[in-house]
Chain A
Amino acid sequence: MIWQLDLAILTLLIVCAVAAISVKDLLATAILFGAYSFMMCLLWSIMAAVDVAFTEASVGAGVSTVFFVAAVFRTTRRTKD
């Protein structure tokens, strides 16, 4: 485990998480959430939990992003709060 890599990914993870809940544009939130999932997937694979990383990559970064984009497409793009 390379701690510099670990730290960089953790920083990006926190940036993605904070950005995803503070951005007003919901489409951007969906994409940021996908990026968050991908960072999480990298962290899982660094921690040698490859099965979990695989699930995170396919479910979190892949399909759920598509679901969010589809939901944004059918509702509104701006949040009210």
Chain B
Amino acid sequence: MILSGGLLLYATKDFPSWGDPTSPASTHVSPRYLKKSLEETRVPNVVTSILADYRGYDTMFETTVIFCAGVACFMLLRTFEKRETDHYYRHVPTGITIHIKGQREIPIESKEFEKIDAIWTPYDLIINTVSRFLVPFIQLFALYVIAHGHHSPGGGFQGGVILGASMIVLAIAFNLRTAVRRLGERIDSIMSALGVFIYSGIGALCVLLGANFLDYKALAQILPIDRVAARSDGILGVEIGVGIAVMAVMICVYNNVASEGRYDEGL
């Protein structure tokens, strides 16, 4: 291990120095991207234009990898057996905890009683209130990150992760059932597939309009904009697809891991 590490460290001596303009990586296509990106796609953030336009295939299959991770997590962990535990409820007006032995349950529609996890967590007003206030702002910021990826760092992946994190905050601060009630498992699964579908659908639409796959210039034929703006809008559409897919997969993975695939009691 030390030998291979030493060899790797020795090999770094041959690397081009940091930010070297004559290094092999930055002499072939990079200058072209840096020069042409703004006039070809009207996207000031070159990273976004390279990720979603010039290297669209890579990003599409990255999204597919994320989707596959979600599917794998679902396949490995999801079970439909019920846990053989007692049920615990909190009487909302008085704050008394009730322990019901056996498999009897209070119906979920009951306003008086609120189900709580078997691993008892204290009812914390501060955490609940703060997270309830915070979640809309986190989601707004995530939408800003997705939509503003053209001009500033960010894009579909980061925005999607932040959107998913907002639901995870909800699941941790309240309980898993609250979060699942807001965004059900079925809708979540559909959304994770929908995100990949939006991405590949935009690519396929370009083929139908007579251009190459993911060549957003072709979108100018159906949208009332010129070909350069079409590329910019194509990137936005693709980023939205990535965002939806990543958000849904993050929530799916968290729910499955935190509840051992039972979707009843989380962290």
Give the residue name and chain of the B residue nearest to A57 (CB).
B158
A16 CB, min distance to chain B CBs, angstroms: 17
Contact A51 B154 (CB under 8 A): yes
Contact A74 B260 (CB under 8 A): yes
CA distance A74 to B79 in the complex (A): 15
Stretch of A22-30, A31-39, A64-72 on the interface side: A64-72
Q: Enumerate chain B residues within 8 angstroms of A14, measured Cβ to Cβ.
A: none
**A63: contacting residue among B18, B250, B258, CB under 8 A:** B250
CA distance A50 to B4 in the complex (A): 31
* Interface flags, B145-186, vs A, CB<8A=1, else 0: 100000001110110011011001000100000000000000
Contact A67 B257 (CB under 8 A): yes
Q: Which residues, 1 to 53 on B, are CB-close (under 8 Å) to A?
A: 18, 45, 47-48
Contact B158 A63 (CB under 8 A): no
Majority secondary structure of chain A interface residues (helix, strand, loop or mixed): helix
Q: Which residues, 213 to 267 on B, are CB-close (under 8 Å) to A?
A: 250, 253-254, 257-258, 260, 266-267
Contact B47 A63 (CB under 8 A): no
Given contacts A71-B257, A73-B258, contact A63 B161 (CB under 8 A): yes
What is the number of residues of chain A that contact chain B, defined by CB distance less than 8 Å? 17
Contact B158 A54 (CB under 8 A): yes
Majority secondary structure of chain B interface residues (helix, strand, loop or mixed): helix
Given contacts A51-B47, A51-B153, A54-B154, contact A70 B254 (CB under 8 A): yes
Contact A58 B162 (CB under 8 A): yes
Give the residue name and chain of the A residue nearest to B51 (CB).
A51
Give the residue name and chain of the B residue nearest to A49 (CB).
B47
CA distance A74 to B259 in the complex (A): 8
Contact B164 A74 (CB under 8 A): no
Contact B257 A70 (CB under 8 A): yes
**A55: contacting residue among B48, B157, B172, B267, CB under 8 A:** B157
CA distance A10 to B103 in the complex (A): 55
CA distance A73 to B258 in the complex (A): 8
Q: Enumerate chain A residues within 8 angstroms of B48, measured Cβ to Cβ.
A: 51
Q: Enumerate chain B residues within 8 angstroms of A69, measured Cβ to Cβ.
A: 267
Contact B168 A66 (CB under 8 A): yes
Contact B267 A63 (CB under 8 A): no
CA distance A30 to B177 in the complex (A): 25
A residues neighboring B (CB under 8 Å): 47, 50-51, 53-55, 58-59, 62-63, 66-67, 69-71, 73-74
Given contacts A62-B161, A63-B165, 9 further A-B contacts (CB under 8 A): A51-B154, A53-B153, A58-B162, A62-B162, A63-B161, A63-B250, A66-B165, A66-B172, A70-B267
17 cross-chain CB contacts under 8 A: A51-B45, A51-B154, A58-B161, A59-B157, A59-B158, A59-B161, A62-B161, A63-B161, A63-B168, A63-B254, A66-B168, A66-B254, A70-B254, A70-B257, A74-B257, A74-B258, A74-B260
